[in-house]
Amino acid sequence: MSNGQLCIVMNNRPQSIDIIYTKKNGSDIKAQLGYRMSGSSSYAGLETISKGDRATQTWTMSWPCKSAVGLIKVQGQGTFETPSATFPGC
C-alpha cells in the first residue's frame, strides 16, 4: 500500500463502518473496498481509483461490540487490510 492510505472508521450514530482509500501516487487501480468482521468479509463493487482520488464505502448496520478490519482487494495485487478497529464505547 505504498501508493495510498487505507482507513477504517467505526461510527456510533448511526452505527456504521466507513472504509476510505486515498490514492496518493501510481497508476490507476481497479479495486473493491470491504471489511471483515467475525471471520466474514463483505465487499462493495469494483471501481477504478486514480491518483488523487478518495474512494469511500459505508455499511450501516447494528452489531454487538465486535472488532472489524478494513479491506481493499486490488486486481492483480491482492488484498490489503487495516489494523483492527472496535466500535466506539466497547
pLDDT tens by residue, 29-81: 999 999 999 889 999 999 999 999 999 999 998 777 789 999 999 999 999 99
Count of the separate structural domains present in the chain: 1
The x, y and z cell numbers of residue 2, run together, are: 505504498
Domain-embedded: residue 90: no
Q: List residues bridging with 40 in a β-sheet.
A: 37
Residue 89 lies in a domain: no
Q: What is the largest CA-CA distance in the chain?
A: 39
**Closest listed residue to residue 33, CA positions, set 5, 65, 64:** 5
Whether residue 1 is predicted with pLDDT greater than 80 in this model: the reply is no
CATH of the domain at 63: 2.60.40.10
Cβ-contact 34, 72 below 8 angstroms: yes
Higher pLDDT, 66 or 84: 84
Mean pLDDT of 5-26: 92
Residue written as grid cell 472488532: 67
Query: What pLDDT sits at residue 66?
Result: 83
What's the rounded Cα separation, in Å, for the pair 6 and 3?
10
Residue 22 belongs to some domain of the structure: yes
Higher pLDDT, 89 or 24: 24
